[in-house]
Amino acid sequence: MDKEYHIKASGSAPILALENISLTYRVNPVLRNINWRIQPGEQWAIVGRNSAGKSSLAAIISGSAKHFVGTCTVADHVLERGIAYVCFEQQKTLIERDKKLDDSEFRPDAADPGTTVRQALSLDKTLSAETQEWIERLGIEHILDRGIRFISTGEARKTLLAQAICRIPGLLILDTPTDGLDKRSQQTMRDALNSLLAKPRPVILLYRDIQQLPEGITHLLVLDEGKTLAQGRKLDVLARADVQAVFARSEQHLVELPMDSQADKPLTEDVLILNHVSVRYGDNVILNDVSWRMSQHQHAILAGPNGSGKTTLLSLITGDNPKAYGQDITVFGMKRGSGESVWDIKRCFGVVDSASHLNFPARQRTLHVVISGFYDSHGLYHTPTDAQVRQAKAWMRSFGLDHLINTEFDTLSFGQQRIILLARAMVKQPKMLILDEPTLGLDAVHTQQLLNAIDHVANGGRTQLIFVSHSVGEYPKCINQCLEFVPHDSGYQLACRNLAPGELP
């Protein structure tokens, strides 16, 4: 029988005590016999690779997971102030709720900004002194009056962190807080975390990579496949060979790609041409005088800070942004607005991004997720042809995932899901594959596996790549063009350069 004990403890007791905690999800064990205590003055991080059980344990502690076995005891002073849990899924829920409340079609200006960052940070019209301090520390002053649906992933992450901190919870749990941030913002976030960890307020951080741990962490709990591998003082845990082995990179077996040798070839040497393209919303300039030319056989990395315009630029190329029309944009020899249909455009592109990753409905078979790529849908709502089924299976086999064909997508590790989405993007053999922060949320092992798979695509067929990153960090070996948004008087300016063989971006 499932048990949930959330018992108040005296002030002299541990801040948190877990005894024999186990959790099963659809008959699959997620956590097994976790025993753990946090004493006053200790600052802990839970570390482990994708699917180790970190988020599930955090959900139990925060109270959002109810059906577990074992005992969770929380000190009374923590319960009185509450437990705040900041994670990627929370960001998704906040934005989805705001979309449901969108009343643009009933407004005379046809624009509903929704909940603004300022409103998200305060229940009233004024911001407290501490809230203002964290706004400045995290660098989000410029987005206070912008709707949360219209800010970048990194800006949303910083907004949620400021919101949680300023409510002064009894316990703050942060899931990979530097995810989705550009290089400068990552350092800002690390400074903010060390400031938090220096205070007596208890904080639990979740990480996939032991290299990302802040200095202020004193203790580690290492999970591996739902079990405790190690726990104790940070330096003692990190010195263990079995802990180091868990985070070591591994090889994957890739086979020949099922590419169609008779696929259409580009009609022109340049596959993308943008001449003096600009985008503004009211007084807010997103893109200013952007020009870019991408030729056949080029694979580009697009880098830049949060809010610099990367996502907007991609939406112009894919035709998802109506501001693409009426501007000098040519894609695969066809100028935007020259009579092409939405589906003419979409069939040229395959996309892997965090938004599509989080939008798949529950209980979808992995094979059906891959087949849905033929229809650009989140889920399979058509009866596929035999040829489509064969093609989907072939792409899964090419990435070494054929053993997962009948597995439910949402039971896979985050890293396996991301490579499945790469297969989904490739089943229709697009001319262009857009990878928007594809390694976001992946541990080091799955990151390398995904980059290997991306290079496999670039080397084995006609598809060209646009690889989007907040900073020029880890990227596929095939990259031979670098585009970077750099600070400029008017905001950001796009700098473009072609790379010689072996030249680093």
Least confident among 207-221, 245-259, 288-302: 245-259
Q: Is residue 61 part of a domain?
A: yes
Q: Average pLDDT of the chain? A: 84
Alpha-carbon span 471 to 480, nearest angstrom: 16
Q: Is there a contact between 396 and 367 (Cβ–Cβ < 8 Å)?
A: yes
Which of 172, 235, 164, 222 is CA-nearest to residue 200? 172
Q: For the residues of 53-81, what is the DSSP string, one character each?
A: SHHHHHHHHHT-----EEEEEEEHHHHHH
Q: Is residue 210 part of a domain?
A: yes
Alpha-carbon span 287 to 310, nearest angstrom: 9
Stretch 156-166: mean pLDDT: 85
| Residue 505 pLDDT exceeds 80 | no
165: confidence class by pLDDT, cuts 50, 70, 90 = confident
251: confidence class by pLDDT, cuts 50, 70, 90 = low
415 vs 76: which has the higher pLDDT: 76
Stretch 8-26: mean pLDDT: 80
Q: Vertex 438, ends 275 and 330: CA angle to 5°? A: 20
Stretch 382-399: mean pLDDT: 91
Amino acid 5: pLDDT: 46
* 151 exposure class (CB count in 10 Å sphere: 0-12, 13-18, 19+): buried
Alpha-carbon span 294 to 300, nearest angstrom: 8
pTM of the model: 0.77
Tell me the two tokens of residue 310.
Answer: 């990367």
For residue 127, the surrounding DSSP H or E stretch is: none
Amino acid 102: pLDDT: 55
238 vs 437: which has the higher pLDDT: 238
Q: Is there a contact between 228 and 256 (Cβ–Cβ < 8 Å)?
A: no
Alpha-carbon span 220 to 472, nearest angstrom: 30
Amino acid 469: pLDDT: 83
Highest mean pLDDT among 144-148, 190-194, 399-403: 190-194
Stretch 84-108: mean pLDDT: 65
Which of 332, 292, 310, 255 is CA-nearest to residue 492? 310
Stretch 317-343: mean pLDDT: 84
Q: Is there a contact between 210 and 247 (Cβ–Cβ < 8 Å)?
A: yes
Amino acid 106: pLDDT: 44
Alpha-carbon span 197 to 217, nearest angstrom: 7
Least confident among 78-92, 124-138, 230-244, 428-442: 124-138
* 116 exposure class (CB count in 10 Å sphere: 0-12, 13-18, 19+): middle
Alpha-carbon span 171 to 182, nearest angstrom: 27
| Residue 109 pLDDT exceeds 50 | no
Stretch 176-205: mean pLDDT: 86
Q: Is there a contact between 396 and 369 (Cβ–Cβ < 8 Å)?
A: no
341 vs 113: which has the higher pLDDT: 341
Which of 134, 104, 138, 139 is CA-nearest to residue 122? 134
| Residue 466 pLDDT exceeds 50 | yes
How many structural domains is the chain composed of?
1
Instruction: List CB contacts of 297: < 8 A, sequence separation 6 or more.
Output: 464, 480
| Residue 39 pLDDT exceeds 60 | yes
Q: Is residue 233 part of a domain?
A: yes
Q: Is residue 67 part of a domain?
A: yes
Q: What's the domain range around 145?
A: 6-246
CATH of residue 31's domain is: 3.40.50.300
State the sign of the Cα–Cα–Cα–Cα dihedral 326, 331, 335, 338: negative
| Residue 416 pLDDT exceeds 90 | no
Q: Is residue 487 part of a domain?
A: no
Q: Vertex 123, ends 121 and 129: CA angle to 5°? A: 60
Highest mean pLDDT among 69-73, 178-182, 499-503: 69-73
| Residue 480 pLDDT exceeds 90 | yes
Q: Is residue 47 part of a domain?
A: yes
Tell me the two tokens of residue 373.
Answer: 């790529």
Amino acid 174: pLDDT: 93
Alpha-carbon span 113 to 95, nearest angstrom: 12
Instruction: List CB contacts of 225: < 8 A, sequence separation 6 or more.
Output: 51, 52, 53
* pLDDT (tens digit per residue) in 278-314: 988 777 788 888 999 999 889 999 988 877 888 889 9
Q: Is residue 86 part of a domain?
A: yes
Q: Is residue 133 part of a domain?
A: yes
Alpha-carbon span 352 to 442, nearest angstrom: 14
Residues above pLDDT 70, as percent of the chain: 88
Alpha-carbon span 192 to 84, nearest angstrom: 17
Least confident among 123-127, 270-274, 338-342, 382-386: 123-127
Amino acid 110: pLDDT: 41
Stretch 87-100: mean pLDDT: 69
Amino acid 91: pLDDT: 67
* pLDDT (tens digit per residue) in 259-281: 765 455 555 678 899 999 998 87
489 vs 60: which has the higher pLDDT: 60
244 vs 91: which has the higher pLDDT: 244
Stretch 197-211: mean pLDDT: 91
